[in-house]
Amino acid sequence: MENRDIYLDNSATTMAFPEVCELVGRTMSTLYGNPSSLHSKGMAAAAEIKTARERIAKTLKCEEKEIVFTSCGTEADNLAIIGGALANSRAGKHLITSSIEHPAVLNSMKTLEDLGFEVTYLPVDETARIRLSDLEAAIRPDTILVSLMYINNEVGSVMPIAEAGALIKRVNPRTLFHVDAVQAYGKRVIKPSAEKIDMLSASGHKIHAGKGVGFLYIRTGVKVKPLMVGGGQQKGMRSGTENVPGIAAMGLASQMLYKNIAEDLDRLYELKEYFISQVSTIEGAYVNGLTGRDSAPHVISVSFSGIKSQVFLNALNQKGIYVSSGSACSTNHPGISDTLKAMGVKKELLDSTIRFSMSVFTAKEDLDYTLESIREVLPMLRKFTKR
């Protein structure tokens, strides 16, 4: 079987759209003025930022002024959680999140705990979703912020965001609701106003826009303390000369992803269903979490008994198939997932799990080659492991 080049690690990062690459090059070579400068070069750069902000705001049905550009999704999470907590600490110092959040969220919470805040970490069920009853029980009069991921980056579970937003505002209208949408933006139609979301984080390199850019949606009226101070760019919310090429890239990629999102999601769900139906026929293969339309369209987590994930990952890499054993940002021991443990996955499968994550570039032929390779190498690896 001839080796190919199959990229199935799109939850870690994505290949940029060719149109985005062209725009970045043009922006760097011709629109290189400082967007704060008042000459024509600066104004041209500022216009590019305005266009990107308009494009992103249109995808969220929000106002342009509610978009703040950051260097990445991690910075957006930090700004929302730490900045939001510090700005609203007079109303209370209690925060809520889940036990399976991205390190950018969990470490922001730990930072706040060091500053005297109290954090409640909600457990998840066997599908890696919180229970709304647990959330309701955790909200207190002094709860100032709840932060939840929209889509889990390891198993693709979708949190009940709209239901959580409505519950939070019913129990304590003053509590801010932050959503880490790094894995969801571009994969779902998100309407912050309807879902009662006060702040929402997204990252450029997860949506074919390249690394080094992200954004934070901040609903008008929400108080957030800036974490970066300096020249007062972006109305003082995030000082520093804007990354014009990156911002332009994120604006264009957002527009491209949402242009035909219904059709693209249908195709991704079809590919996901196909892959799951085939991989489930392999002996000792167990799909983790939900698998239908109530799960993410692009993430598939599969545990393969009798083989270490890193060994399997390396074998697939030799075949030109690029996957991962979990979150690329995890500080845990490779292959050991807090999410899988929280879901109650059997201990012997925790270090035997592979994450396959697709994108709009993924084709059925890629999955067929991957399945064929799994069937070829898995028995040999299991035989070797038993020795």
For helices 364-386 and 309-318, give the axis angle rounded to 10 degrees.
130
Q: Could you identify the residue written with the tokens 């932060």?
A: 147
How far is it, in rounded angstroms, from Cα 27 to Cα 45?
8
The catalytic residue among 21, 62, 72, 329 is 329
**Cβ atoms of 105 and 77 closer than 8 Å:** yes
How far is it, in rounded angstroms, from Cα 357 to Cα 366?
12
Q: Could you identify the residue written with the tokens 């990229």?
A: 7
For helices 244-259 and 18-30, give the axis angle rounded to 10 degrees.
150
- Spacing of C-alpha 248 from chain mean position: 20
Cα–Cα distance list, 358 to 18, 21, 299, 354 (Å): 18, 20, 7, 13
**Cβ atoms of 182 and 102 closer than 8 Å:** yes
- Percentages (nearest 5) of helix, strand, coil residues in the chain: 45, 15, 40
**Residue 18 CB burial class (10 angstroms; 0-12, 13-18, ≥19):** exposed
How far is it, in rounded angstroms, from Cα 100 to Cα 109?
13
Report the first-to-last Cα separation within the chain, whole angstroms. 26
Assess whether 21 carries a catalytic annotation. Answer: no
The number of beta carbons lying within 10 Å of the beta carbon of residue 128 is 28
Residue 270 tokens, joined = 């079809």
Beta strands in 99-243 (DSSP E): 118-122, 143-149, 176-180, 199-203, 214-218
Q: What are phi and psi of 136, to 5 degrees?
A: -60, -40
Cite the active site residues. Answer: 329
